[in-house]
Amino acid sequence: MSSAAPLSIFLASEQETARFGEWLAARLRPGDTLLLEGQIGAGKTHLARSLIRARLGRMEDVPSPTFTLVQTYDAGDTEIWHADLYRLSHPDEVTELGLEAAFDTAICLIEWPDRLGSLAPPGAMRLQLSQEGEGRRLLVSGGRADLRAAIMQDWPADA
């Protein structure tokens, strides 16, 4: 991941968080992985759900994969893998889910990525969400340089 300082973006509402997910959906490509970090209730699943629905181009039931661990979606040009690793206790369990292969060919959205251990893809983009008043603070680091540049251009950073 990039050693540059994280971008800090304030998302003032759930709607703005959804808008960011929709914006991001149009710019992701097969092989992109987003590591979604934050406490329970920080907005990880809400962001992922908005992104998935936008990429699919239709309203779809997008349940949290907390108990199934992984949900996959056919987005036409690629698959989307949405994983919630909260219930895993060891990185070896990630291998059993097939995530390592998906990192190369699909768009992967990973909640609780600390459970990946050393299996986290080196080029993944880290999105750290935290509650701030009625909104969310989003810290963005790593990922493709062109995607980070687009975020900087379209989503003004703040302190």
Q: For domain 7-154, which CATH number applies: 2.40.37.10, 1.10.10.10, 3.40.50.300, 3.40.1080.10?
A: 3.40.50.300
Q: What confidence score (pLDDT) does residue 3 get?
A: 59
Q: What is the mean pLDDT of the chain?
A: 88
**Contacts of 78-82 spanning 24+ positions with Cβ under 8 A:** 78/29, 78/30, 78/105, 78/106, 78/107, 79/105, 79/106, 79/107, 80/52, 80/55, 80/56, 80/106, 80/107, 80/108, 80/109, 81/106, 81/107, 81/108, 81/109, 82/48, 82/52, 82/109, 82/111
For residue 1, name the pLDDT band (cuts at 50, 70, 90).
very low
Q: What confidence score (pLDDT) does residue 63 get?
A: 59
Mean predicted confidence (pLDDT) in 2-17: 86
User: Which pair of structure tokens corresponds to residue 42?
Assistant: 């920080």
Query: What are the tens digits of pLDDT across the range 90-118?
Result: 777 888 888 888 999 999 999 999 998 88
- Portion of the chain with pLDDT greater than 70, in percent: 90
Q: Which residue has the higher pLDDT, 3 or 83?
A: 83
Q: What confidence score (pLDDT) does residue 74 get?
A: 85
Q: Does the pLDDT of residue 13 top 80, yes or no?
A: yes
In one letter, which amino acid is 64?
S
Query: What are the tens digits of pLDDT across the range 49-66?
Result: 999 999 988 766 665 666
Query: What are the tens digits of pLDDT across the range 65-85?
Result: 666 688 888 888 899 999 999
Q: How far apart are CA 111 and CA 35, in angstroms?
A: 6
User: Which pair of structure tokens corresponds to residue 21?
Assistant: 């997910």
State the alpha helices, DSSP H only, in the chain.
14-25, 44-56, 92-97, 99-105, 145-154
> Which residue, among 143, 144, 153, 157, has the nearest Cα to 7 in the 3D structure?
157
Q: What confidence score (pLDDT) does residue 57 get?
A: 82
